[in-house]
Amino acid sequence: MTQNLPTTLGALKKSGWVSRSVKEELRQNLLAKLKSGERIFPGIVGYEKTVIPQIQNAVLSKHHFILLGLRGQAKSRIIRQLHLLLDEWQPIIAGSYLNEDPMRPISPKAKQLIEQCGDATPIEWKHREERYHEKLATPDVSIADLIGDIDPIKAAREKLDISNEEVIHWGIIPRTNRGIFAINELPDLQPRIQVGLLNILEEADIQVRGFPLRLPLDIMIVFSANPEDYTNRGNIITPLKDRIDSQIITHYPKTIEEAKVITTAEHSAADKPVTVPEFIKDIIEEVSFQARASEYVDQSSGVSARVSISAYENLLSNIERRALHNKDKDFYPRMTDLYAVIPAITGKIELVYEGEQEGSIIVAQSLIGKAINAVFLRHFPTPSKEKSRPDRPEQANPYEAVIDFFSTGRKLELADDISFDEYKKRLESIAGLKQIVKQYFDVKSERELLLRMELVLEGLHHNNIIAREEIDSLVRYADIFSDMLKGLGGSR
């Protein structure tokens, strides 16, 4: 609210307001936040000891800086929070296109206004959110967009000479004077346009249609870029790169726990009545971690955190859809729900040639399988086909009863849309499966017990102990040897 703020230059002087450059303003406000222990970038997870300290150093050093990292690493989100380091309100000369400092006007029009009105010069106040602007770099961005151009209509209307500074229609950078300007995906900007930024960063003089102008802009410029763009779509010209004071490298979450915090904060399905146990959330996050290590995925392109967010949303939606289809209240995941997230994966990962040959769906299924197995092995011992030996009881195989169940030729079929009662009946029909879960977990919930029983079956499959076949939404588990013989029989 600006009701109690000065409205004239004279009142502003009496208020004791002190003029500061935008970089000094950012520096002093950051120092105050650091002293108070206030969190600087709320909602940004995993950068507390890496990226955030480097950004703080750049601000304290009064640097222009660039965030360099793969897609989905919160670069834009960080940049859009920088305005929180500005003063909440800032005075400008009323009507100034360039947000001019009442104590330090830079345009002839503002200087003339102060000369005529003196302490009666009207003052306006801008909120810090109005002092942040950004531009997505695209090949069609022009110097006129960024810096400005001559407006012949204005010149004719006001009967001004074409060389008069007042006929210039200012671009977005001068209009962000005394604020923060961000350019996203800098390498996409044409080299000749990047050249136009050089003097703004260093010399404070610009040219518009050949007319040199001394325009001492007070501005902090922040950039973002993806390393992949350096070769695929463009480059940052060396002189401009030299004038960007700090280069800060971003990264993906380093732990599953960090990734879960991000997904939980970002997913758009919080209103759904679904209960998801932690190990299922672990599997969702593990898919992205597996993709970032996969030989089939283009690692130079990166695997965005949005993969996990979209996958989690698909998981919740599949559970909700099944519950409504069955007209029950079983809003709880099953292992089959994990394969319903494939559409969230295939559109967000770039494949190398070998991956394209395999096919995006097969690669996605493989990533989900590896994620399931990684989480399974964190909770259960590595499966083995070795039989228990009376003389060596410590070698007892906890999976022996389940393996024997399938080795007799019996099968288990679980469809995505079967009712909860049928789902429970079929899982409990497998000898020894419930005992395996109870041996390693003190599970209070019946639903979690059944889900972990499914996890055991998936783990046995991904360790080549039992076979698994998927036909549409039907999953069939069987003895792996019998399944191989059936395949051989079908090939003759």
pLDDT digits (tens, 9 = 90+) for 167-178: 777 889 989 999
* pLDDT score recorded for residue 491: 43
Rounded Cα distance between 294 and 288, Å, is 10
Show the 3-state SS of 282-311.
HHHHHHHHHHCCCCCECCCCCCCCHHHHHH
- Residues across the chain: 492
The answer on pLDDT for 44 being more than 80 is: yes
* pLDDT score recorded for residue 165: 67
Beta-carbon contacts of residue 306 (< 8 Å; ≥ 6 apart):
72, 348
Mean pLDDT value across residues 242-261: 94
315 touches 340 (CB < 8 A)? yes
9-249 CATH: 3.40.50.300
Number of Cβ within 10 Å of residue 85's Cβ equals 22
- The long-range contacts involving 19-24, CB below 8 angstroms and separated by at least 24 positions, are 19/101, 19/102, 19/103, 19/104, 21/218, 22/86, 22/131, 22/178, 22/179, 22/180, 22/218, 22/219, 22/220, 23/59, 23/62, 23/220, 24/62
pTM: 0.86
Question: Distance of alpha carbon 172 from its chain centroid, rounded?
Answer: 26
Distances (CA, A) of 421 to 118, 328, 415, 417, 446: 83, 10, 13, 12, 12
Number of Cβ within 10 Å of residue 355's Cβ equals 19
Rounded Cα distance between 297 and 300, Å, is 9
* pLDDT score recorded for residue 492: 40
The answer on pLDDT for 29 being more than 70 is: yes
Beta-carbon contacts of residue 261 (< 8 Å; ≥ 6 apart):
45
CATH domain 256-379 topology: Helicase, Ruva Protein; domain 3 (1.10.8)
The answer on pLDDT for 303 being more than 60 is: yes
pLDDT grade, residue 138 (50/70/90)?
A: confident
Supply 268's token pair.
């758009």
Candidate from 96-105, 203-212, 320-329, 423-432 with smallest mean pLDDT: 203-212
Supply 448's token pair.
């979690």
Report the DSSP beta bridge partners of residue 247: 66
Q: Where are the strands (E) in 200-341, listed by range?
A: 205-208, 211-214, 219-225, 246-249
Q: Measured at the alpha carbon of residue 460, what is the angle toward residues 457 and 461, in degrees to the nearest 5? A: 90
Domain parsing of the chain, residue ranges: 9-249, 256-379, 393-491
Mean pLDDT value across residues 214-233: 78
* pLDDT score recorded for residue 482: 66
Predicted confidence (pLDDT) per residue in 61-83, tens digit: 999 999 999 989 999 999 999 99
Predicted confidence (pLDDT) per residue in 448-488, tens digit: 999 999 999 999 999 999 999 988 778 999 998 765 555 54
Supply 246's token pair.
């700090």
206 touches 250 (CB < 8 A)? no
Furthest C-alpha separation in the chain: 106
Give the residue with greater pLDDT, 232 vs 206.
206
Mean pLDDT value across residues 348-361: 92
The answer on pLDDT for 489 being more than 60 is: no
* Closest listed residue to residue 65, CA positions, set 266, 262, 185, 222: 222
Predicted confidence (pLDDT) per residue in 94-136, tens digit: 988 889 999 999 888 888 899 999 999 999 999 999 999 999 9
Amino acid at 213: L
With H, G, I as helix, E, B as strand and everything else as coil, classify residue 317. helix
Q: pLDDT averaged over the chain?
A: 88
Predicted confidence (pLDDT) per residue in 148-167, tens digit: 877 766 666 766 665 666 77
The answer on pLDDT for 426 being more than 90 is: yes
* 326: DSSP letter: H
Give the residue with greater pLDDT, 56 vs 107.
56
* Closest listed residue to residue 91, CA positions, set 18, 154, 39: 18
With H, G, I as helix, E, B as strand and everything else as coil, classify residue 415. strand
Rounded Cα distance between 260 and 282, Å, is 7
* pLDDT score recorded for residue 452: 95
